[in-house]
Amino acid sequence: MANQRQIHIKLEENLHTKLRKTSKDKGITMQEFVTKALNNELYYQSELNLDTHSFTFIDLFAGIGGMRIAFEAAGGRCVFTSEIDKFCKKTYFGNFGEVPEGDIAKVKESDIPDHDILVAGFPCQPFSIAGVSKKRSLGKEDGFLDKTQGTLFFDIARIIKEKKPKAFLLENVKNLRSHDKGKTFQIICKTLEELGYKVNSRILDGHHFVPQHRERIFIVGILEDIQAEDPLESLPLPEPNHKVRDILEKEVDDKYTLSDKLWDYLQSYAKKHREKGNGFGFGKVNLDGITRTLSARYYKDGSEILIPQKGKNPRRLTPKECARLQGFPETFEIPVSDTQAYKQFGNSVTVPLVTAIAEQLVNNLHFNKEKVKS
Q: Enumerate the active-site residues.
A: 124
Count the Cβ atoms, other than its own, within 10 Å of residue 133: 9
Residues 6 or more apart in contact with residue 358 via CB below 8 angstroms? 70, 71, 73, 74, 76, 169
Residues 6 or more apart in contact with residue 364 via CB below 8 angstroms? 228, 229, 230, 231, 234
| Closest to 78 in 3D by CA, of 46, 107, 116 | 116
CA 291 vs. chain centroid, Å, equals 20
Q: Are strands 117-120 and 55-60 parallel, antiparallel or unpaired?
A: parallel
Amino acid letter for position 72:
E
Reduced to 3 states (helix: H, G, I; strand: E, B; else coil), residue 342 is helix
Query: Terminus-to-terminus CA distance in the chain, angstroms?
Result: 36
| Closest to 189 in 3D by CA, of 238, 156, 164 | 156
Count the Cβ atoms, other than its own, within 10 Å of residue 161: 15
Angle of helix 86-96 relative to helix 30-48, nearest 10 degrees, comes to: 60
Q: Are 63 and 347 in contact (CB under 8 A)?
A: yes
Reduced to 3 states (helix: H, G, I; strand: E, B; else coil), residue 49 is coil
Let me know if 276 is exposed, middle or buried by CB neighbors in 10 A (0-12, 13-18, 19+). Answer: exposed
